[in-house]
Structure 1
Amino acid sequence: MLPHVSTPRFLDLPPGVAPQKIETPQGTFAALTAIPVSGVVERWPALLVPGLTGSKEDFIAVLMTLAQSGRRVVAIDLRGQYETPGPDDPAAYTCAALGSDVDQLAQVIGGGDPVHLVGHSFGGLVAREAAIDGRTRFASFTLMSSGPGAIEGRRARNGKKIMEEVPARGLEHVWHTRFEPEALANDVSDDIMEFLHKRLLANSPTGLARMAEQVLSMHDRTDELREVEVPTLVLYGEHDDGWPPEAQSEMAARLGADCVVVPGAVHSPAVEAPETTAAALVRFWNTAEQRYLDTRSNIL
């Protein structure tokens, strides 16, 4: 739930990556959109959903590599996160409500084509709602460092503090007592510190507290996800301190999903091991698309 010391430099976007505002029937969402440097898009697009205290910038290190596989790749801020505005109504920040936003975004981004959906941490719980509700046809679904139910361990304790302290004392208090000390202890650079501070304070306090409550109370929906029969990948760091690696491995087995363990990574593989993570995603996406084409060919 706290920022990682390996957070990438946010001030310079890679080639082919640009900020964008995406209009949907449920509102406007801030995004970073990546396209191949050549400008030629040949494969189905991808939508990347960040975690609780994260944002679209958490995917910067993988965006260019993912796009170079021939895709448009879009990373978003959820409703109430960083540069996407949100209301003061707690009901707008349940996993189901946020999952409905993901449905709308995928339909706009896909433009009729299936979309590869990736959810990191809390974003995985949100994206899972969209995958299960059946309103959108997804090309594939990736749970990145996200588990079957409520988060556990140290991150659960941090989430509980966010849920309790944000409404009572505000975001600035949480920054000074929790985020800033950890960042300083890990020698985070001044520019990244400035970004992390700005990002936290830009969150909707209502949204952050409600999303923290959701990640602490979410029930296991693995069996329901399996029934959807969307190609699924479970990807996590070997030292994940959110959901235990063994819990994610067991979830992958229950889903009949592909499983990738990223060596050396903790809770943010896209930040801590971007090339390994991007390669695993591209390989999985390509395989999912080929299987779809093979199936269509057999039907015809």
Structure 2
Amino acid sequence: MDDSIFSLNEQIIGKDLERLKRYNNSFVNVRDTLAPTQIMDVCADFGFATAAVLKEDGKRTGENVAGIRVAQLDFDNTWTVEEATEHPLYQDYAIGLYSTPSHGKVQDDLPDSKAVIMSDAQAAAIRTRVGQAMVRFRLVFVLSEQLPAVRVPAFYAGLFAEFPMADVSCRDRARMFFGSPNAVVRIDNPFARRMDKERVDALVVVGQASSSLPACKPVKKPAAQAVDDSSPSEMPNGQPERFNKNLIVILANGEVTTCKDLRKRMKSGYENRLACFSPFRQENRPSAFVQRDAMGRLYFNDTTARKSYAYA
């Protein structure tokens, strides 16, 4: 089995979406030679992007993920540091935590696109903090051996059962974690033992038995409208212009894909609504959805701009 601990992208420092589009194919596996404090340095001092162990260096896709050795949990203004660090799993296995890029910024009102992938308790916690400085941080665990990619979603579901206020978008096996250069770092267990196979297996069992693996809550879908091939789609600048199948899309979990690939992925019906960053304007947090209409065509619903965009 691969002795790598994670994949690393030195071309992406901090939360840089433009460089993510350019360098998503530049992830390289890192061998398991790092001390716990060095792992934290990579993420929270240098601020490099990290992801799962890949089968081959290069592109970060679900198909290219071999498994994970490092598990990270995000808390986006839903829990305090004290609440997270008092948890027995944190005390037994976590290296520590570090602040993520939006930590300390003022909490705006919660957009629907973000609320839909949260529990009601998480959304309520955030809405009570509107106008206050955000507390956003990430816990870091290291596993004793590589967890195969196929078991990653159930493992994270087990972690979410233990940490119900964590961001469920971390469940994706191809999830990328933006680094946070010059972050606030707290290392409580510099010699923390790695999460053993028995504990990992127990979390997988909990995740598999969960009534629902982390997924978007059902929401009312806008009425589908057929797209006339002779009528160009509306674009943000108000000019009639189509966007094509090669349009790059960044999903809420950080995955970079294209409209062409999304259409194939959503055709199965397993995923028919995904949160994403708007492809038509700059934004720091996802405020849009990509969906399929009744004819199987993709369209974007930008909740902030209050516009929908379709392509044939």
> TM-score normalised to the size of structure 1?
0.27
Larger radius of gyration: 2
Task: Give the structure with the larger helix fraction.
Answer: 1
> TM-score normalised to the size of structure 2?
0.26
Task: Give the structure with the larger strand fraction.
Answer: 2
